Amino acid sequence: MNLSRIRDVLLPRPRRDYPLYENDELQMLRKATAFNSQLMDVLREHVRPGITTNELDRLAASYTRDHGHAAACLGYKGFPKSICTSINDVVCHGIPDDTVLQEGDIVNVDITTIVDGWYGDQSETFLVGEVSKEAKALTQVTFDALHVGIRAARPYCTIYDIAKAITRHAEARGYSVVRSYQGHGIGREFHQKPGVPHYPHESTQRSIIVPGCCFTIEPMINIGTPDIYIEPDGWTVRTKDHSLSAQFEHQIFMKADGPEILTLTKQGPQEGHCF
């Protein structure tokens, strides 16, 4: 038996079960994500003490509608608002309401829009006024973990490689990685394969990222344990120990020469930013 045959027998075969997009489709993805990034910059100017999360939601909804596009979250599996706003110990899927952002809060704003049938998806954690040292440190580690994960994403890498890099970065600094939620494939659908967990689960050792794949990386990092619970509203996810949680998300397209970040904003933090 030759060496290549031995390798095929002993090593698990790579798995790819998601759509690949061609260059003309990449242009549509770029158009969708460019609008989504533009919307994030619009909201950025309004995330400050004294504003309610409902006001942010109304602003996002009207801006999206006025440009002829649609908010993907609105009505998705019954979600009642156009964006997600997750404050302090809320990990994700916070529902905008009359809660007023206070000095010292951190809030994740997660937005997804549909442009000509294509999806753009991203999130940022914002510091509301002056925040505590622990809140700022958590936000920094989470932002850096996102970019560590992106740097680990190379053509034909495994999803395991991405997750291992994120978890190693966070845990080395004393933080935990939420395991209950993950990144995902995206394109003509909001959520599609591949699933992209942010911790190194053995099932992802055979899941490879092939050029043409579009997906999100969106680590959720906690100060305390990774455990979560869901509020009775069926959406709002909180840390079980009520410690602070932060998240950043980018939408990525894998090209033959490496990952392209589709959701870069003009006014937001770029890789290397210090909060």
CATH number of the domain that 160 lies in?
3.90.230.10
- Is residue 200, in this structure, part of any structural domain at all? yes
Q: How many CB atoms lie within 10 A of CB 224?
A: 15
Exposed, middle or buried: residue 226 (CB in 10 Å: 0-12, 13-18, 19+)? buried
Q: Is residue 271 part of a domain?
A: no
Nearest Cα neighbor of 27 from 267, 180, 187 is: 187
pLDDT in tens, 125-146: 999 999 999 999 999 999 999 9
Q: Is residue 2 domain-resident?
A: no
pLDDT computed for residue 15 by the predictor: 65
Residue 12 has pLDDT above 70, yes or no: no
Contacts 24+ apart (CB under 8 A), 239-245: 239/89, 239/91, 242/89, 243/89, 244/88, 244/89, 244/106, 244/134, 244/135, 244/138, 245/86, 245/88, 245/89, 245/90, 245/91, 245/138, 245/178, 245/220, 245/221
Q: What is the mean pLDDT of residues 151-155?
A: 98
User: 208 in a domain, yes or no?
Assistant: yes
Distance, CA of 51 to CA of 34 (rounded, Å)? 26
Instruction: Read off the pLDDT of each residue in 225-241 and give the average, rounded to a whole number.
Output: 98
Q: Is the pLDDT of residue 16 over 80?
A: no
State residue 17's pLDDT score: 83
pLDDT at 13 > cutoff 70: no
How much of the chain exceeds pLDDT 90, in percent?
A: 93
Residue 179 lies inside a defined structural domain of this protein: yes
For the entire predicted model, the pTM comes to 0.94
pLDDT of residue 117: 98
How far apart are the C-alpha atoms of 58 and 64, rounded to whole Å?
Answer: 10
* pLDDT at residue 6 is higher than 90: no
Assign 79 a pLDDT band (cuts: 50, 70, 90).
very high
> What's the pLDDT band for 14 if we cut at 50, 70, 90?
low
How many domains is the chain built from? 1
Q: Where is 3: in which H helix or E strand?
A: helix 3-10
Tell me the mean pLDDT in the region 31-45.
98
Average pLDDT over residues 222-246: 98
- Residue at 12 is within a domain: no
How far, rounded to the nearest angstrom, does the alpha carbon of residue 34 sit from its chain's CA centroid? 16
* Per-residue tokens: 234: 């069926």
Q: Exposure of 52 by Cβ count < 10 A (0-12 exposed, 13-18 middle, 19+ buried)?
A: middle
Count of other CB atoms within 10 angstroms of residue 171: 14
Q: Are 50 and 107 in contact (CB under 8 A)?
A: no
pLDDT tens, position by position, 81-121: 999 999 999 999 999 999 999 999 999 999 999 999 999 99
- Position 273 in a domain: no
Q: Which of 215, 207, 208 is nearest to 187 (CA)?
A: 215
184-229 tens-digit pLDDT: 999 999 999 999 999 999 989 999 999 999 999 999 999 999 999 9
In three-state secondary structure terms, 157 is coil
Per the prediction, the chain carries an average pLDDT of 94
The answer to whether position 226 is within a domain reads yes
What is the model's pLDDT at position 4? 40
- Residues 233-250 have a mean pLDDT of 98
Paired tokens of 258: 């490496």
Residues 226, 171: contact at Cβ < 8 Å? no
Tell me the sheet residues that pair with 158: 208
Structural domain boundaries, residue 173 = 19-261
